[in-house]
Structure 1
Amino acid sequence: MLKLDNFKEAKNRLDPVLVKTSLIYSEPFSNESDNEVYIKPENLQRTGSFKLRGAYNKISKMDPELKKKGLIASSAGNHAQGVAYAAHQADVEATIVMPAHTPLIKVEATTSHGANVVLHGEVYDEAYGKACELQKEHGYTFVHPFDDEDVIEGQGTIALEILEELPETDIILVPVGGGGLISGIACAAKQMNPNVKIIGVEPDGAASALAAIEQDEVVTLKDAVTIADGTAVKRIGDIPFQYIREYVDEIVTVSDYDLMKAFLVLIEKHKLIAENSGILSLAALKKLNVKNKKVVCLISGGNIDVKNISSMINKGLVARGRIFTFTVELPDVPGQLAKVSNLLASLNANVISLEHNQFINLPRFSEVELRVTCETNGEKHIKQIIDGFKENGLEIKTVNQD
């Protein structure tokens, strides 16, 4: 296992290329979780994620003769950019294999550093298989995104920064994909302060670390289905599993809708953009069964495809009750639309759309259905709308937009 001095040496190695990502106190997330929440914004790191740390550390330590043969890596995007950047700094040729549906922003960012990109497979594991084939074919040196102690050593420098800035940290929430990030952070943090609690966060649809812990061995999931593409890993690394088992206190999972809710708060209240996998830690705050603790949430990356941002915002609005869609059955007589519109106005709900359907087959022949979508201030406001309609003799049926 890595020692604290290893992480300190890695930090000295990395300091010339790192952007200082100081902790940000989050009032909205603190209020929602009843804890003192801080954000570690690695989305602001050079190349847009923490992955630069592990890749640069690994390549910096490599034998010069190995570098001459060229490098190869597989990545959902962020490790790719880290390897590409580090290889460019070392004047070494690099080839990166990425899943076919990797967001274009990550592909372009990788090629901008001079790396050759090969798109292959649906998820990371398939891209990894292709990278292994190319390694054997061309004699490249493989730079693994998480199953490598030099990479883990680089990622662990984040823990040093967190605990140097906030020594009294009680909990660190860390996104988990292949396990390299949490391995480094947990190992370094526990050696600095054995009392700090390390909690890993995975998406419900790709909980390979949780499965490994539960079965006490590394397992391969049947599939990895999640909007958090950067953590869509069906099998965690063998080396990270040893570190997770030794140093990580707990693994929790969150849904895609939890991610959308966290994304909306982050962008609305902090004006920060993060990718879906990057906000796993923020989405997990509601899973904590503690109060009044100092909690650091690591935002691991910010390389989101811009065309997905509006969709995430809209879905986040729905998930947090800021957009409310419902149906109500009305008598088929004049003046009912005006009645509903006036009622919503009196309840301070902003109408987005009204759909008056006379042709739906309702139990009572003399009624029609009105479908309404309106903007609200959240769940409490929605309850006020439901109660207000009931007081006026109208029963609302919420439309589930999941």
Structure 2
Amino acid sequence: MATQTHAAPDPLPITADDVRAAAMRIDGMVVRTPTLHSRTLSELTGAQVYLKFENLQFTAAYKERGALNTLLQLDDAARAKGVIAASAGNHAQGLAYHGNRLGIPVTIVMPRNTPAVKVTQTEGHGATVILEGETFDAAHAHARKLEASNGYTFVHPFDDPRIMAGQGTIALEMLADVPAIDSFIVPIGGGGLISGVAAIAKAQDRAIDVIGVEAELYPSMFNRLKGAELPCGGDTLAEGIAVKEPGGLTARMVETLVDDIVLVGERNLEEAVSLLLQIEKTVVEGAGAAGLAALLAHRDRFAGRTVGVILCGGNIDTRLLANVLLRDLARSGRLARLRIRLQDRPGALFGVARIFHEQSVNIIEVYHQRVFTTLPAKGLITDIECETRDRAHLERLIAALKASGYEVSTVELA
């Protein structure tokens, strides 16, 4: 009888040795960001929380690591011709910054609708920016055409072993700083970061969990790992991980090494961004806050663990950040809009304002509505935006207004 043989499984795209080699290669050329214990977030979540401040890189994101590791492995001919990428985010800036430092020409293709500030920032790092197409897919296709016609080296934002190995250097640093970490919570977009982290975590001589996090609106790797078919799309605060199709190489890493993937909603992401600014005094973008968002949304899962959370980027639009902070104040009751029904007669608004004064509540804005309302002609609605100390203070104000005979309701956030 013939002996049946089985083909050995394909080796994974990277190993821990690749990550260690990347760490030696990029040493001294990226910021060795701190890994710090957050006492307040630990008390809040029931875990021992250690934060890796990758938002302190020069371009405010971890993407520099993989980009630099890739650039340093190019031969002289490839360096002379230059590299190209399709990106409107942190990958573009990391590649542009280190390409400029190393004297390697960098071309970045972005969709035409890319915000001007991103174009300016990338050009400021020395890259040539080409605007092409209305979607990222169109920009990507154009970049591949230029790669073929001009002999550029295409640098993928995540589905490249050199990129994955460079990103994994974060885990090496975290474990060197805090050997007790037993769980990593890692944001997933295309999967480059979690691939590198998992390669290191699973090479240790003890069990370390690696949990991925995706926004509920973009569960692409979750679908692949779980065999689910959840829809991908929509406006998410975590735009840096809003990826509809994960990488093929990264998916192999995730399927083999990652323990689980969890999803987080927009409220969790907003809360995480706000808490990091209030508690840690650090600005983090939505994708960068996804790890903390998962910790907040799944506290029971991580209770009692020593958790490493990677704050992978800090590039957030200032107006968007302001909106997130104001929405968080509203949800906590410190900022509120009350809708009050009044009779249209002299002194009606004064009577309401007196109650606000008695309750020591600051009035910010007053909106009077006489015309566009379903009330009778002699009735009106007044919306008052106000500032209180906390939820209990707001509830005392509402009770005082109702006790004086006013109909009051709160205008809630979505």
Structure 2 CA distance for aligned equivalents of residues 27 and 100 of structure 1:
44
* 1:339 pairs with 2:351: yes
Q: Which residue of 2 aligns with 1:76?
A: 88
Structure 2 CA distance for aligned equivalents of residues 265 and 181 of structure 1:
23
Q: Is the 8 A contact 2:268 2:296 kept in 1?
A: no
Q: Secondary structure at the match of 2:72?
A: helix
Structure 1 CA distance for aligned equivalents of residues 330 and 113 of structure 2:
26
Structure 2 CA distance for aligned equivalents of residues 269 and 12 of structure 1:
34
Matches within 5 A, 1:221-236: 223-236=233-246
Percent identity (aligned):
37
The range that moved more, 276-285 or 307-316, is 307-316
Letter in structure 2 aligned against 1:143: V
* 1:30 pairs with 2:12: no
Q: Which residue of 2 aligns with 1:145?
A: 157
1:363 CA displacement: 5.8
Q: Which residue of 2 aligns with 1:272?
A: 282
1:395 CA displacement: 4.0
Structure 2 CA distance for aligned equivalents of residues 107 and 354 of structure 1:
40
Matches within 5 A, 1:155-234: 155-192=167-204, 194-215=206-227, 223-234=233-244
Letter in structure 1 aligned against 2:156: H
Letter in structure 1 aligned against 2:269: L
* 1:293 pairs with 2:305: yes
1:105 CA displacement: 4.0
Q: Secondary structure at the match of 2:203?
A: helix
Letter in structure 2 aligned against 1:345: H
The range that moved more, 21-30 or 119-128, is 119-128
Q: Which residue of 2 aligns with 1:354?
A: 366
Structure 2 CA distance for aligned equivalents of residues 336 and 193 of structure 1:
73
Superposed CA offset, 1:264-292 (max 9, x none) = 22223322122232222222222222323
Structure 1 CA distance for aligned equivalents of residues 288 and 66 of structure 2:
16
Q: Secondary structure at the match of 1:386?
A: helix
Superposed CA offset, 1:2-49 (max 9, x none) = 222221121111111121211233344334323332221101012211
* 1:250 pairs with 2:260: yes
Superposed CA offset, 1:291-319 (max 9, x none) = 23322221111122345443333334334
Structure 2 CA distance for aligned equivalents of residues 391 and 198 of structure 1:
54
The range that moved more, 34-43 or 346-355, is 346-355
Structure 2 CA distance for aligned equivalents of residues 396 and 48 of structure 1:
45
1:161 CA displacement: 1.0
Q: TM-score, normalised by structure 2?
A: 0.87
Structure 2 CA distance for aligned equivalents of residues 210 and 155 of structure 1:
20
Structure 2 CA distance for aligned equivalents of residues 112 and 367 of structure 1:
57
Q: Is the 8 A contact 1:77 1:102 kept in 2?
A: no
CA separation of 1:121 and 1:262: change in aligned 2, threshold 3 A: farther
Q: Secondary structure at the match of 2:353?
A: helix
CA separation of 1:200 and 1:330: change in aligned 2, threshold 3 A: same
Q: Is the 8 A contact 1:221 1:235 kept in 2?
A: no
Q: Secondary structure at the match of 1:330?
A: strand
Structure 1 residue corresponding to 2:31, chosen from 1, 19, 35 = 19
Q: Which residue of 2 aligns with 1:94?
A: 106
Q: Which residue of 2 aligns with 1:374?
A: 386
1:119 CA displacement: 2.5
Q: Which residue of 2 aligns with 1:40?
A: 52
CA separation of 1:245 and 1:391: change in aligned 2, threshold 3 A: farther
The range that moved more, 349-358 or 222-231, is 222-231
Letter in structure 2 aligned against 1:80: A
Aligned CA-pair RMSD: 2.6
1:73 CA displacement: 1.0
Q: Secondary structure at the match of 2:59?
A: helix
CA separation of 1:103 and 1:254: change in aligned 2, threshold 3 A: farther
Q: Which structure's CA Rg is the greater one? A: 2
Structure 1 CA distance for aligned equivalents of residues 230 and 404 of structure 2:
55
Superposed CA offset, 1:355-401 (max 9, x none) = 23344545677643221111234444444443443444444322134
CA separation of 1:121 and 1:176: change in aligned 2, threshold 3 A: farther
Q: Secondary structure at the match of 1:156?
A: helix
CA separation of 1:110 and 1:196: change in aligned 2, threshold 3 A: same
Structure 2 CA distance for aligned equivalents of residues 33 and 220 of structure 1:
28
1:224 CA displacement: 4.9
Q: How many residue pairs end up in the alignment?
A: 400
The range that moved more, 128-137 or 114-123, is 114-123
Structure 2 CA distance for aligned equivalents of residues 69 and 226 of structure 1:
37
Q: Is the 8 A contact 2:219 2:232 kept in 1?
A: no
Q: Which residue of 2 aligns with 1:10?
A: 22
Q: Is the 8 A contact 1:87 1:93 kept in 2?
A: yes
1:202 CA displacement: 1.8
Letter in structure 2 aligned against 1:116: T
Structure 2 residue corresponding to 1:115, chosen from 117, 127, 135 = 127
1:158 CA displacement: 0.5
Q: Which residue of 1 aligns with 2:69?
A: 57
Q: Is the 8 A contact 2:237 2:270 kept in 1?
A: no
1:246 CA displacement: 1.6
Structure 2: 5+ residue runs without aligned partners? 1-11
* 1:260 pairs with 2:270: yes
